[in-house]
Structure 1
């Protein structure tokens, strides 16, 4: 499996609640409709929690301000990802997604990278060759 991790920071003009609402209720459905062109097998949004529990844990550890959310996107393999990137429909889907992301994500301050999970503990998945 090939995975893309995208650490999101919201636009300064949005509250955390506005950011998360748009991401879940507008952007999420857009990703779902574009999934066939993109060839993704999974898309997950991790929404940051706020409040005493989360803030207290961060203070105790001396941790910096967290991201507003993390998106995880999976493809069956690197070959599947490369094949989708050559597809004109996928290029158009990516253009539409980036256009929408600019409405709620501070793209210049939101890192992303491709990766492969290495399971240390938990349910084991069979690694693709």
Structure 2
């Protein structure tokens, strides 16, 4: 399995509630579903960090920074041909649309993206 993981920090000018509203917007969900279909992903998961005292305790226990606001995971059965799929004109347009949408609520500099395998 190949997995794309995006640990997301919200833009500083947005409240957690505003971020959650945009994260759950139909526009963003549609873009993600289109990405899943185009890339042949077998699974796409979106998670929002719980705003609970236990998360503050976890942060303080080890002196870490604030947790990410959300996480996006996209799973593929295997990586063969995956990166070629993303180099097509259709994928390029979709990725541009996705980035433009995300720019409204994601702090790109403070977020992290990477691929993993399992």
User: What is the TM-score with the length of structure 2 in the denominator?
Assistant: 0.86
Alignment of 1:14-53 (within 5 A): 14-26=14-26, 27-53=28-54
- C-alpha deviation, 1:38, in angstroms: 2.9
Residue equivalent to 1:4: 4
Secondary structure at 1:103 match in 2: coil
Q: Return the alpha-carbon distance in structure 2 between the equivalents of residues 45 and 29 of structure 1.
A: 13
Aligned equivalent of 1:109: 110
Q: Using structure 1 for the length normalisation, give the TM-score.
A: 0.79
Counterpart CA distance in 1 for 2:84 and 2:59 is 41
Q: After the TM superposition, which of the residue ranges 76-85 and 104-113 deviates more from structure 2?
A: 76-85
Number of aligned residue pairs: 117
Change (3 A) 1:41 1:83: farther
Runs of 4+ in 1 over 6 A off after TM superposition: none
Do the aligned partners of 1:39 and 1:80 also contact (CA within 8 Å) in 2? no
When Rg is computed on C-alpha atoms for both structures, the one with the higher figure is 1
Residues in 1 aligned to 2:83 and 2:35: alpha-carbon distance in whole angstroms? 16
1:120 is aligned to none
